[in-house]
Amino acid sequence: MLNQVKSLIERIIPRLSSALVILTLAALTNPHYVGIYNVVTLLYTAIQATIDSGARFAVMRVLTEPGGMKIMNRYRMFMPVVAFELLVALMLFLLWNGTLENWGEFFQVLPVAFAPGFGALGLLYVGTLQATSQWGLLARLQFRAALVGLLVGGTTLILTHSLLGPALQLAVTEGVFALLCWRRARKNTLPIPHSAPGEKSILSDMGAMSGYALMAWLQGQAERLFMTFFAGTAVLGIYTAGSAVGRAPGDALAASTANMVRVAVADKETPDEIRDTSNRFLSGALMLAVVGVVVAQVAAIVLGPLLGAKWNAAMAMVPFIAMVSFPGVLSWAASVLLVRTGAAWKTFVGPVIGIVFGAVIAWVASFDLNLAATFLVVREFAVVLVAYLFIGRAAPWRSFWLGLALTVVGMTTCWLVVL
């Protein structure tokens, strides 16, 4: 449990710092402006998910199997350049279609284009520290990087009241974290366990998981893309602010739990061993999710008066959207288990279901954000259910039912309070 908490801290720090900057942007500007920034960061997360997630899922194999380093070195050579060029091209498209209103706004968000490249350059070193269970060190390095990012981005935001602040915060945090991990991994003396080559090649797993990550991104962001069409950037901005508060703890917990499960099941051979190990980590994560939900709700109560009446709807939806923490933990771990059990290609099915739900959620958000958040939670459980059916005997169903029970209790309480 201690390592799980350390891993959570490592993942939650950048999300909390980003949420803080977004909320400051909200306080200094308006929902429409926050919506514009969200469109830019959607593009960033799409590129990051595609180029980073496949390598992140395969990094343990890269470090422990013969030939893995050759693949990683090529990845680090090409991906930063590809990511930068793609993001700049997409930002130019936003300038052309009027989402970015002028060249000034284009250059304000341009630092975001460097962020996925920094992540790609630092991935090997992050993986090295994870493989040797140095979770506490990772948390400290992430904290330092977040502080530098907040100092640079937050100061810029307060002085300029512009998009440059959040953009710099994102890029500086990623860059400093990669640099710090490189320095520490260079000095690593702890042994990394070796394993026999998997049934499928490393490139095959990287390709499959990159495709899955893109689909998962579409699953997770589909409602925001549709929301621009159904409700406009102002509603998108309100939804983004509510999500920044309600989802930050749960998303960080889901990412950290996936990292822990990935390492823990790497040397497990039988479905029973994989299931029991996963249940152990997921049960603890779901209990931590309860704490995260409470923290998000308290934050919404505190932030409401500070942000003002124009953000009341955003803060009111926080208790509802925070419930996605429970299925989110299960969903991220499910993708790891699908890869571990040799069913990486089946990870595509769940996101397809999620994308269909996204259109419904966006339409509902145009008239009721709380109901939209409820549909979001239902969607995530549908995705988890399909994934667990594919995992088969290794699926941690005990954790599934625990997560479902916690969600039903929490969501029922939210609606009773509102009604």
Widest pairwise Cα distance in the chain:
60
Helices (H) and strands (E) in the chain, counts: 17, 0
Give the model confidence (pLDDT) of 174-184 as tens digits: 999 989 988 88
Query: Looking at the whole model, is its pTM more than 0.85?
Result: no
**Amino acid 66: pLDDT:** 56
Place of tokens 């029991």: 276
pLDDT higher than 70, residue 238: yes
Confidence of residue 196 (pLDDT cuts 50, 70, 90): very low
**Amino acid 171: pLDDT:** 92
**Amino acid 19: pLDDT:** 74
Confidence of residue 411 (pLDDT cuts 50, 70, 90): very high
Give the model confidence (pLDDT) of 122-131 as tens digits: 777 877 777 6
pLDDT higher than 60, residue 229: yes
Say if residues 152 and 174 touch (Cβ distance below 8 Å): no
Name the more confident of 101 and 199. 101
d(CA 396, CA 410): 22
pLDDT higher than 90, residue 326: yes
198-210: average pLDDT: 60
d(CA 223, CA 364): 10
373-386: average pLDDT: 90
d(CA 365, CA 381): 19
Name the more confident of 263 and 412. 412
Confidence of residue 219 (pLDDT cuts 50, 70, 90): low
**Amino acid 197: pLDDT:** 47
**Amino acid 190: pLDDT:** 52
In sequence order, what are the residues at sequence separation of 6 or more whose Cβ sits closer than 8 angstroms to the Cβ of residue 385?
400
Please return the burial class of 313, using the count of CB atoms within 10 Å of its CB with bins 0-12, 13-18 and 19+. Answer: middle
List the one residue out of 263, 129, 133 whose CA is nearest residue 195.
Answer: 263
**Amino acid 348: pLDDT:** 66
**Amino acid 202: pLDDT:** 59
Percent of the chain with pLDDT over 70: 80
Give the model confidence (pLDDT) of 132-152 as tens digits: 767 678 778 888 898 899 899
The per-residue pLDDT of the chain, averaged, comes to 80
What single-letter amino acid sits at 134?
A: Q
Say if residues 44 and 325 touch (Cβ distance below 8 Å): no
Highest mean pLDDT among 27-31, 97-101, 163-167, 210-214: 163-167
* Gyration radius from the chain CA atoms: 20
Tally of residues, the chain:
419
